[in-house]
């Protein structure tokens, strides 16, 4: 009778241990992150981009630092607001030139548009959520580091990356251990780090 009781107790303890171990290993660092397509509009300007607009070939040449607002607009002297988002720098320069000439401020002029800074956004369970300046070599893991790293409550294995209105769940632990699994960020990307349920 005693041996039967010990046998059942051992079985229960073994089952409980296996369940505990299985629960602890829910955030494993195996598998692959999904392949995220590069944005189709990487050359297009986006809200948040910082630009320098140079007006030349006129009596009072000038350069204007501007930032595209959330509505996709910029503001310039004399002509006011003009749509900038979803255009290339060349298209925007042409639109600005045509607007100044059509409103009879100048009869001829040259306009150049250059991008000075582009951003990505990191929010949720990171130390310093907010905007991060985009660079061509910025990856997901580097973006998290630039935001001060994860908080104690971060769920590192289920980070959401939004690109072109499509969300992807990524395992940053996997990205940190395997550079091939660490996707490059694109301007305008948004990263959200959720809170762990534990």
Q: Is the pLDDT of residue 26 over 70?
A: no
Domain that holds residue 142: 119-198
Among residues 57, 60, 51, 110, the alpha carbon closest in space to that of 82 is found at 51
Beta strands 159-163 and 119-124, pairing class: unpaired
161 and 95 co-located in one domain: no
56 and 123 co-located in one domain: no
Residue 162 burial by CB count (10 A; 0-12/13-18/19+): exposed, middle or buried?
middle
pLDDT of residue 25: 43
Our count of domains for the chain comes to: 2
Q: Give the chain's mean pLDDT.
A: 85
126 and 99 co-located in one domain: no
Rg (alpha carbons) of the chain, rounded to whole number: 26
170 and 107 co-located in one domain: no
| Phi, psi for 113 (deg, rounded to 5) | -125, 125
| Phi, psi for 103 (deg, rounded to 5) | -90, 10
Determine the Cα–Cα distance for residues 69 and 76; give it in Å rounded to an integer.
13
Q: Could you say which of 117, 134, 156 is where a domain stops?
A: 117
Within a domain: residue 38? no
Within a domain: residue 180? yes
pLDDT of residue 173: 93
pLDDT of residue 21: 44
pLDDT, tens digit, 9 for 90 and up, residues 137-150: 999 999 999 999 99
Q: Is the pLDDT of residue 16 over 90?
A: no
pLDDT of residue 23: 44
The CATH number that applies at residue 112 is: 3.30.1950.10
The sheet with strand 110-117 has its strands ordered as 62-67, 50-56, 110-117
62 and 88 co-located in one domain: yes
Q: Could you say which of 87, 117, 147 is where a domain stops?
A: 117
SS3 content of the chain, % helix, strand, coil (to 5): 25, 30, 45
pLDDT, tens digit, 9 for 90 and up, residues 42-93: 678 988 899 999 999 999 999 999 999 989 999 999 999 999 998 999 999 9
pLDDT of residue 80: 94
Q: Is the pLDDT of residue 125 over 70?
A: yes
pLDDT of residue 22: 43
pLDDT of residue 24: 44
Q: Which residue has the higher pLDDT, 45 or 14?
A: 45
97 and 165 co-located in one domain: no
198 and 123 co-located in one domain: yes
149 and 82 co-located in one domain: no
Within a domain: residue 198? yes
Q: Which residue has the higher pLDDT, 129 or 32?
A: 129
123 and 197 co-located in one domain: yes
Percent of the chain with pLDDT over 70: 83
Within a domain: residue 69? yes
Under a CB-based contact definition with an 8 Å cutoff, are residues 51 and 119 in contact? no
Q: Show the tokens assigned to 61.
A: 């040449």
Which secondary-structure segment (H or E) carries 94?
A: helix 89-102
Q: Could you say which of 117, 146, 169 is where a domain stops?
A: 117
Q: Which residue has the higher pLDDT, 11 or 66?
A: 66
Determine the Cα–Cα distance for residues 78 and 102; give it in Å rounded to an integer.
12
Percent of the chain with pLDDT over 90: 64
Within a domain: residue 4? no
Within a domain: residue 3? no
The CATH number that applies at residue 154 is: 3.10.560.10
């Amino acid at each position: 009778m005693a041996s039967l009781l010990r046998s059942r107790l051992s079985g229960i303890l073994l089952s409980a241990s296996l369940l505990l171990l299985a629960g602890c290993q829910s955030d494993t660092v195996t598998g692959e992150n999904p392949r995220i397509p590069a944005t189709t509009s990487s050359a297009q300007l986006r809200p948040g981009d910082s630009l320098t607009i140079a007006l030349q070939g006129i009596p009072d040449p000038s350069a204007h630092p501007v930032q595209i607002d959330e509505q996709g607009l910029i503001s310039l002297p004399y002509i006011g607001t003009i749509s900038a988002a979803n255009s290339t720098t060349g298209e925007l320069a042409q639109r600005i030139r045509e607007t100044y000439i059509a409103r009879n401020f100048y009869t001829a002029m040259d306009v150049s548009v250059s991008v000075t800074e582009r951003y990505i956004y990191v929010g949720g369970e990171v130390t310093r959520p907010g905007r991060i300046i985009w660079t061509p070599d910025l990856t997901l893991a580097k973006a998290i580091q630039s935001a001060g790293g994860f908080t104690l409550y971060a769920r590192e294995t289920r980070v959401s990356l939004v690109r072109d209105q499509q969300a992807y769940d990524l395992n940053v632990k996997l990205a940190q251990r395997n550079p091939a699994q660490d996707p490059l960020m694109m301007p305008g990307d948004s990263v959200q780090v959720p809170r762990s349920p534990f």
